[in-house]
Amino acid sequence: MAVNREPQVFLFLGEMLGKKIVEETGKVIGRVYDITAEFVEPYPLVTGLTLGSAQKKKPLFLPWKNVVGLDDDIIVAVDSASELAELNLQVNELLLRDDLLDKQIVDTDGAKVRRVNDLQFLETKNRLHLVHVDVGFRGLSRRIGLDKAMDILSLGLFDYQLSDQLISWKLVQPLLSPDRLRLSIAQNKLNQIHPADLADILEDLDIKQRNAVFQSLDVETAAEALEETDPKIQVSLINNLNSEDASDIIEEMSLSEAADLLGDLPRAKAEGILNEMEQDIAEDVKELLAHPEREAGGMMTTSYLSFRPQITVGEAMDVLRKEAEDVDMVYYVYITDDEERLLGVITLRDLILAESGTRLEEIMDERIISLKLDDKDDTIAEHFAKYALTAIPVVDENDRMQGTIIFKNLLDVVAPHLGK
């Protein structure tokens, strides 16, 4: 049995702007200036049109429910502009022309900042949904009425068919103010991007947009992105936050990254943030700040797991499950005595493969590779290269465990100087 399907019609914002708005007898009420949409998931829903008014300061608002036909003109069930109220945007509404057209958005799939050249809608069941963002040249030429001419030109001269470069709205994140991002977007899609890609995006934005996007992120995502961002931009982003908000983000960073960042901030700003941080975290960070950045003490993190040699594998695994989320280094666990002298090291792999009742001293590797607090970056780099480790413990002159250097922390310090 055949099923009747309602035809689906695609429309572009560039084609709708400036169209005549006419009532059913053909009387012109005005022209489309903008289109409003409610930001619902997965696709924003068009709520109405706006048109200018000589009598009122604000534009007039025509609800989409009054639109009865879309052709060369927009036909509406309204007799005159006097029936329309002034525009009053609701909490989750945006003006698509003013807020999106020619503005930057993030393509979360490609992790790139793109310019909006047009917007594509899908009309179905008398509703209009925003489904695609056009970031291509054809979208720009369509808005000025030259799309057909450009098609002929490119095909004739270059034997190339221009195509629309459309990105699904589900993969798009508008770049708005922090408050509007929180209010207008049910779920901030930037939180789903890999921190390294998000850092690249932040670095590509101007200062105003960068701060707006950063301040719209949840605390955990902001911390992860900050760790991947250029140190100068880190400082700029944190300087634009109050101490309380900055402390919330910095507390989520690894201790070594947090110390590096606070060390780059103006002293008064850093002290204000430290005062807002949880006391135990602040004390750990202050300890790291006491060491020069390019020495082992300045690169290490004090967030690691250590156990006494008589502890069993099962007991260690219980601790690991509970605390791993808050520890910077979990691939190695360190074995220390009652005075914190380093006795051995166990990889996570060996820990998982061992029997639950096995004591740690039975499987620990006593061939310890370690560094001293004042070892310089060249010595540290040589150790990583020679022994192919992902982290190296740092001890004091009495072999007491002080921290561990993760390979990434070495790169963060050394890489900026490699080109010099």
Structure tokens at 375: 């070892």
Q: Which residues pair with 38 in a beta bridge?
A: 45, 93
Structure tokens at 371: 């560094």
Q: Is the separation of the CB atoms in 288 and 298 below 8 Å? A: yes
Question: What H or E segment, with its residue span, contains residue 151?
Answer: helix 147-158
Q: Which amino acid makes up residue 5?
A: R
Structure tokens at 300: 């290490």
Dihedral angle of Cα 34, 40, 43, 46, to the nearest 10 degrees? -30
- The domain spans of the chain are 9-184, 193-290, 306-417
> How many Cβ atoms sit within 10 Å of the Cβ of residue 208?
11
What is d(CA 220, CA 259) in angstroms, rounded to the nearest whole number? 17
φ/ψ of 23, rounded to 5, equals -85, 170
* Statement: residue 179 has pLDDT above 60: no
Among candidate residues 100, 86, 112, 87, the one with its CA nearest the CA of residue 39: 100
Residue 387: CB partners within 8 Å, gap ≥ 6? 369
Q: Which fold has domain 9-184?
A: SH3 type barrels. (2.30.30)
Structure tokens at 65: 């429910």
Minimum mean pLDDT among 105-119, 150-164, 216-230: which range?
A: 150-164
Question: What H or E segment, with its residue span, contains residue 273?
Answer: helix 267-276
Q: Is the separation of the CB atoms in 328 and 406 below 8 Å? A: yes
Query: What's the whole-number average pLDDT of the chain?
Result: 86
Q: Is the separation of the CB atoms in 380 and 319 below 8 Å? A: no
Structure tokens at 193: 């991007």
Minimum mean pLDDT among 106-120, 169-183, 368-382: which range?
A: 169-183
Whole-model pTM over 0.85: no
* Statement: residue 296 has pLDDT above 70: yes
φ/ψ of 167, rounded to 5, equals -115, 130
* Statement: residue 342 has pLDDT above 60: yes
The CATH number for 306-417, chosen from 3.40.190.10, 3.10.580.10, 3.30.750.24, 1.10.238.10, is: 3.10.580.10
Q: Provide, rounded to the nearest whole percent, the portion of the chain with pLDDT above 90.
A: 48
pLDDT of amino acid 159: 53
Model pLDDT for residues 361-378, shown as the tens digit of each residue:
999 999 999 999 999 989
CATH classification (class only), 193-290: mainly alpha
* Statement: residue 113 has pLDDT above 70: yes
Q: Which residue has the higher pLDDT, 255 or 343?
A: 343
What is d(CA 139, CA 181) in angstroms, rounded to the nearest whole number? 25
What is d(CA 235, CA 250) in angstroms, rounded to the nearest whole number? 12
Structure tokens at 213: 């996007």
Q: How far is CA 37 from CA 151, 169, 262, in A?
A: 31, 13, 42
Minimum mean pLDDT among 85-99, 262-276, 299-313: which range?
A: 85-99
* Statement: residue 73 has pLDDT above 50: yes
